[in-house]
Amino acid sequence: MKGAIFLGSFSLFLLSTPASAGEREQFETEVRPLLANNCWGCHRQSAMGGLRLDSLAAILKGGKSGPAIVPGKPEGSLLLQAVSYTHDRLRMPPQGKLAAPQIAALTDWVKRGAYWPSDDVPPAPAAKNGEYVITKEQRAFWAFQPVHKPEPPPAAGRFNATAIDRFIGARLAQEGLTPAPRADKRTLIRRATFDLTGLPPTPDEVDAFLADNRPGAFARVVDRLLASPQYGERQARYWLDVARYSDDRFNSTDEDPYPESYRYRNWVIRAFNEDMPYNEFVKAQIAGDQMPASDPLKYRPGLGFYALSPEMQDDRVEATSKAFLGLTVACAQCHDHKFDPIPTKDFYSLQGVFDSTKLDEYPLVDRAAVDAWQARKKKVDQQHEVVTRFYSAQRDQLAEILASQTARFMLAAKGLAPSAGLDAETLDRWKKYLAGRRKDHPFLKSWFELEDRKAPEAEFRQAAAGFQELVLAIRQERKEVDEKNKITLGLNPTRDQIASATLVSLDRDKFVLWRDMYERPNKDAAGFFQSTDGVYYYGKGKIERFLTGAWKEYLEAQQAELARMEKELPPKYPFLQVVADVDKPADGRIHIRGSANNLGDVAPRRFLAILSNGDRKPFTHGAGRLELAEAIADPRNPLTARVMVNRLWQHHFGRGIVASPSNYGQMGDRPTHPELLDYLAARFVETGWSVKAIQREILLSETYALSATDNPANDAKDPANHLLWRANRQRLDIESLRDSILFVSGALDSKQADKAPRFDDKNTQRTVYGYVSRRRLDGTLALFDFPNPNNTAETRNTTNVPLQRLYFMNSPFVDKQAEALAARFTGDAPSRIRAMYRTLFNRQPDAVELRAGQAFVERGSWRNYAQVLLGSNEFLFVD
C-alpha cells in the first residue's frame, strides 16, 4: 500500500512488453528475486563458469557447459537440472539446494517460455565485493545532477520581464503557442488572494488595488498578502498534506485521538508565516531536538512530522524520502529499487536511523511540575491496577468455584437436583445455555440426546459429572496455551514476529466451550463474537454481589479511593509530541526480501549513495537524525530545493514543473521546464531558502498573470496546458471553500485554534484547524477530495459529483451561512445584490444579473438568493 501514487508510471514501463500479467508477475515476484538472491552473487558481473544469469540473452547463450535453459522445455534445461541437484556434476547453488517451491517456480517459468521483460533496466550495477555499485548511466539521470543556475533565454515582448517569464516565454515561442492575454486586475487580486491566503479579497482591498495606478501596485498586494497571518494558514495545509498530518492514530475499530497533535500543525503555520528558512524547516522536522536555538521551542515542535506517523505500518523512510527528496526509497525495502539507484542496503541505512528513534513527549512545564503530575498519575494507575487485579483475581476464583459446581448446575437446570445452595443467576444462565440446544455444540450433543430420549436420571448424572471435568480441564489447558505463546513470542513482539511465529491454541471445540464458559462478551474483526457473558463470567458490576464482609469492604474502599484520586488528578500538563533517540542507537541489518526473519548484512546508518559524493561517512551522533537532516538540507543536495520549489509552483499553477512532485525517479515525470526548475532551486538557496521570496518571484511574473482564456489553436497543440500558455482555472479546495463561505457570510472566526475542533455546526474556525481523522475522515472533507492522511499526498484531486451539489443545496452549514450572508446587507434590492456580488465575486453585477436577482427576491427570500450565489460556479472556481 505504500507509494506508487504516480498514475500509470508502471504501465509506461510495460507498454513495450506485450506479456500477460501472469508472466510478468511470476517473473518479478518469483523468478527475479530468486535469481537475484541465489545466483547473481556469482553469475552476474563475475560470470563464473562463463555464465551470466541477468538477461535472457545471457541465459540462452549459457556458459561453458552450454545454454542454461531451453524455453518451453524444462527437461532439457541445464539450469533446472543443476538447481534440482539431478545433474551428475552441477549442483547449484553450491551452498544449499533451493526450496521445492522455488525450483517449481523456476521450472514453471521455463515451461511457460522463460519470459523476460524486453525493456528490462540495464543489468549493469557492478557488484564490487558484493556491494551495489551505481552506474554512470544512473548517475547521469537528470534529477541527480547538481543544481546549476542557468541563464534565462531571451524571450519576446511581455515575456521578457522576469527570469521565470523568459524560460516560459521561450518555450511557448518554440512550440508556437500564443500566450493568453494578461488577466484583468480584479481577476489577478482574486487569484493571488486565494492562492496566498485561501480566502477571497474584501471589496475594499479590490477597490484599493483598482485605484492604485502607480507602478508596483500588484507587488504591494502580494507583499501585503505574504505578510498576513492567513498566509501561513493557507500554505501550512499544503505541507500538512505532504506530512500526512492527522489528529488521530489509524485504528480500525476505535477512535484514538492524539492529545497534542495541533502543536505541530500550529508550528507549521508559524514557520510559514515567519518564513523560516526551508533548510531549517526540514531539519527541525527531522532533528529539531538537536538544533542549537535560544528558544527550545523554535524547532522542536517540528518533530511532530514523525511523532504523528501512522502507526499501523512504519512509513518513516517513505515519508522522509518522498516529502523532502522526491524519492521512493521505500520501494527498496524488499529488493534493490527496480528503477532508481537505491539499493536495499540504503533503505535499511535510513531505517536504522528511525529504528534508533522513539516516540517521546517534551513537556511544556518545568521538571518539577512534570514529576509531580507523573507521581500522582502513577498513584492513580497503581490504584487502578489494585482494583483491576482484585476484580480479575476474584473473577478467576469465582469462575473456578462455580465451575466446580457444574454438574449440580446442569442437573438443577433440568430439575434433577435441588437449586438450593446454587447461585440463582448462574443457574439461570445455565438454563438458558442448555435451552439454546445448539445442534452444533461439540460437547453437549450427547446431553441433548439424553433429553430427547428422556434418559434415566443416572445417565444425566453421569454426563453432568463428565462435563464438569471437561470444563475444568479446558480451563487448565487454556492457561497452558497462553503460557506457551508468551514464551514463544517474548516481550512486546512485533506484528511481523507474531505473523511468522508458530503459535498454539486450544482446538476449536474446546475454544468454543472455553469461550462460552469463561469469556467476556466480545466481537473481533473477523466477526468471531459472543454477545453475552460466559456462564461463569462475572465482570465488574456483576461480581460485587458475590463479595461480602471483608472482601466487600475492601473493594468499596479501594474503589472510593480510586474515584477520589481520579477526580483530584489535574489534566495532564501540556507537552509536545516528539521523537527522541533511543538509549543505544544501533545499525540495523538488511531484511532480505523484506522479512525480519531473514537478516542480511549490517546496513550502517548513513545517507543514500546516489546523493552522496565519494565516501559516505556513517552517522555517529546518536541515531543520526541530525546528520541525516543536514545531508538532506545541504545546498549541494540536488533534490531538496528542486522538490520544494516545485511544490510551490504546483500550488500556484495547479501542476508542478515536475508533475509527480514526490517522485523524481525514473518512474516520475520529467520536468516540463528543467532549466526553470533549476533556476528556481538555485534562487531558493540564494535567498536563504525563503519560501516567501520564491512565491513573490512567481506571483510577480507575467506567467502568473495570464488569464485563463482558452485558445483553440493552442488547445490542439497543448490541450493540458503543460507549457502554461494560459492560467489554469482552479476549483477551490475544501479548505478555501468552507473558509470562504464563512468569510463572506461574516461568520469566520479568525483566531488560531489551540485544539482540533470537530466540524460541527458551531465550528466557524478556519478549516485547517479542524479535526483530521485517519480512521474516518469528516464527511464534508471527504466529499471535496481532502487527501487520505495515511499517505504522503502530493496533489489534490478535483472531483465533481452530484453529492457535492447536494451539499450546496441542502446542507445545514450552507443554509446557515446563506442566512447570515443575506442578513449582512440592508437597503433596497439593487444595493443588496450589488453588495453581495462585490463580497462574493469582487465585481458589480451587470444589468441582467441585477434584474435576475431582483426578479428572484420578489418571489423568494434573500436567504435563498444568498444560497444560490454561494453555490455558483463563480464562487467555486478561481479564474
Ranges within 81-140 binding other proteins (CB under 8 A): 99-101, 104
User: Quick one: 377 or 729, whose CB is closer to other proteins?
Assistant: 729
Nearest distance from C-beta of residue 482 to other proteins, angstroms: 10
Q: Which residue lies nearer to other proteins by CB, 445 or 751? A: 445
- Nearer Cβ to other proteins (470/565): 470
For 589, the 3-state DSSP assignment is strand
Q: Is 431 in the site for other proteins (CB under 8 A)?
A: no
Select the residue interacting with other proteins from 560, 599, 713, 801 (CB under 8 A).
801
Binding region for other proteins (CB under 8 A) out of 129-137, 346-354, 628-636, 791-799: 791-799
Contact pick of 485, 558, 687, 750 for other proteins (by CB under 8 A): 485
Of the pair 148, 495, the CB lying nearest other proteins is at 495
Which cell goes with 326?
Answer: 522526491
Which residue in 505, 532, 620, 844 binds other proteins (CB under 8 A)?
Answer: 505
Task: Select 292 or 527, whichever has its Cβ closest to other proteins.
Answer: 527
Member of 5, 196, 633, 705 binding other proteins (CB under 8 A): 5
User: Could you tell me if 864 and 875 are in contact, meaning their C-beta atoms sit under 8 angstroms apart?
Assistant: no
What are the start-end ranges of the H helices in 4-83?
9-14, 21-26, 32-38, 40-43, 56-61, 78-83
Nearer to other proteins by Cβ, of 3 and 200: the residue is 3
Of the two residues 267 and 837, which places its CB atom closer to other proteins in the complex? Answer: 837
Exposed, middle or buried, 454 (CB in 10 Å: 0-12/13-18/19+)?
A: exposed
Binding to other proteins, residues 548-607 (CB under 8 A): none
DSSP state for residue 50 in the 8-state scheme: G
Query: Rounded to whole angstroms, how far apart are CA atoms 379 and 300?
Result: 30
Residue 470 found at the interface with other proteins (CB under 8 A): no
- Rounded Cα distance between 811 and 734, Å, is 15
Q: Shortest distance, CB of residue 328 to other proteins, whole angstroms?
A: 11
Per DSSP, the residues of 758-827 read --STT--B-GGGS---SSS--HHHHHTTPPPTTS---S------HHHHHHHHH-HHHHHHHHHHHHH--S
Q: Which of 193, 349, 804, 817 binds other proteins (CB under 8 A)?
A: 804
Name residue 579's beta-bridge partners: 359
* Contact residue for other proteins among 369, 557, 806, 823 (CB under 8 A): 806
Peptide bond into 719 cis (omega under 30): no
Stretch that binds other proteins, among 64-72, 183-191, 496-504, 603-611 (CB under 8 A): 496-504
Count interface residues toward other proteins (CB under 8 A): 99
Which residues in 692-751 contact other proteins (CB under 8 A)?
Answer: 708-710, 720, 729, 731
Residue 363's H or E segment, with its range, is strand 357-363
Q: Which three cell numbers stand for residue 715?
A: 488547445
Beta-carbon count within 10 A of 401 CB: 12
Q: Does 490 bind other proteins (CB under 8 A)?
A: no
Query: By CB under 8 A, which span of 8-16, 58-66, 275-283, 385-393 interacts with other proteins?
Result: 8-16
Q: Least distance (Å) from other proteins to the CB of residue 16?
A: 9
Cell numbers 516520475 correspond to: 668
Please tell me what DSSP assigns to residue 83. Answer: H
Site for other proteins in 207-266 (CB under 8 A): 252
CB of 874 to other proteins, least distance (A): 5
For Cα atoms 674, 679, 682, give the angle at the middle one, nearest 5 degrees: 125
Distance CA 70, CA 273 (A): 66
Q: How many CB atoms lie within 10 A of CB 77?
A: 22
Scanning residues 368 to 427, which ones bind other proteins (CB under 8 A)?
A: none
- Which residue's CB is nearer to other proteins, number 46 or number 595? 595
CB of 566: closest distance to other proteins in angstroms? 31
CB 72, CB 110: distance < 8 Å: yes
User: Under a CB-based contact definition with an 8 Å cutoff, are residues 879 and 729 in contact?
Assistant: yes
Which C-beta is closer to other proteins: that of 368 or that of 526?
A: 526
Show the cell assigned to 395. Answer: 473473577
Three-class DSSP labels, 700-719 = CCCCCCECCCCCHHHHHHCC
Candidate residues 72, 805, 823, 844; the one interacting with other proteins per rule CB under 8 A: 805
Helix %, strand %, coil % of the chain (to 5): 55, 5, 40
Given 132, 167, 807, 862, the residue binding other proteins (CB under 8 A): 807
Stretch that binds other proteins, among 2-10, 264-272, 550-558, 757-765 (CB under 8 A): 2-10
Q: Which residue has the cell 529488493?
A: 335
Is residue 37 part of the contact set for other proteins (CB under 8 A)?
Answer: no
CB contact at 8 A, 219 and 743: no
Could you tell me the sign of the dihedral formed by the alpha carbons of 797, 800, 803, 808, in that order?
A: positive
State which residue, 316 or 515, has the beta carbon closest to other proteins: 515
Bridge partners (DSSP) listed for residue 603:
588
Query: Does residue 473 interact with other proteins by CB under 8 A?
Result: no
Question: Given the rule CB under 8 A, which of 119-127, 267-275, 449-457, 495-503 is the region that contacts other proteins?
Answer: 495-503
Q: How far is the CB of 876 from other proteins (least distance, A)?
A: 7
Please list the residues that pair with 141 across neighbouring strands. none
Within 858-877, which residues bind other proteins (CB under 8 A)?
Answer: 858-860, 864-865, 867-869, 871-874, 876-877
CA nearest to 653, candidates 159, 168, 5, 149: 168
Q: Which is nearer to other proteins, 34 or 39 (CB)?
A: 34
Shorter beta-carbon distance to other proteins: residue 312 or 602: 312
> Could you give the string, one character per residue 765-784, with x where binding to other proteins holds by CB under 8 A and - elsewhere?
-----------x--x--xx-
Let me know: does 582 contact 358? Beta carbons within 8 Å: yes
Q: Is 799 in the site for other proteins (CB under 8 A)?
A: yes
Question: Minimum distance between the CB of residue 567 and other proteins, rounded to whole angstroms?
Answer: 36
- For residues 571 and 365, the answer to whether their CB atoms sit within 8 Å is no
Q: Which residues pair with 246 in a beta bridge?
A: none
DSSP-derived 3-state class of residue 651: helix
Among 86, 145, 532, 788, binds other proteins (CB under 8 A): 788
Interface residue with other proteins, options 96, 541, 571, 802 (CB under 8 A): 802
Q: Looking at 129, 213, 492, 502, which residue binds other proteins (CB under 8 A)?
A: 502
Identity of the residue, 45 or 795, whose beta carbon is nearer to other proteins in the bound complex? 795
Cβ-contact 581, 332 below 8 angstroms: no
Query: Minimal CA–CA distance to 224: which of 266, 193, 187?
Result: 193
**Minimal distance, residue 116 CB to other proteins, in Å:** 16
Rounded Cα distance, 864 and 832, in Å: 14
For residue 342, the minimal CB distance to other proteins (Å) is 18
849 contacts other proteins (rule: CB under 8 A): yes
Smallest gap from Cβ 73 to other proteins, in A, equals: 19
- Does position 848 interact with other proteins (CB under 8 A)? The reply is yes
Q: In the structure grid, which three cell numbers stand for residue 304, read together?
A: 511532530
Instruction: List the interface residues with other proteins, window 619-678 (CB under 8 A).
Output: 659, 669
Q: Which three three-digit cell numbers place residue 565?
A: 484520586
Do the beta carbons of residue 842 and residue 190 sit within 8 Å? yes
Specify whether the CB–CB gap between 699 and 652 falls below 8 A.
yes
Cell numbers found for residue 9: 508510471
Interface region with other proteins, contact rule CB under 8 A, candidates 73-81, 338-346, 525-533, 691-699: 525-533
Per CB under 8 A, contacts with other proteins among 812-841 are: 812, 815
617 touches other proteins by CB under 8 A: no
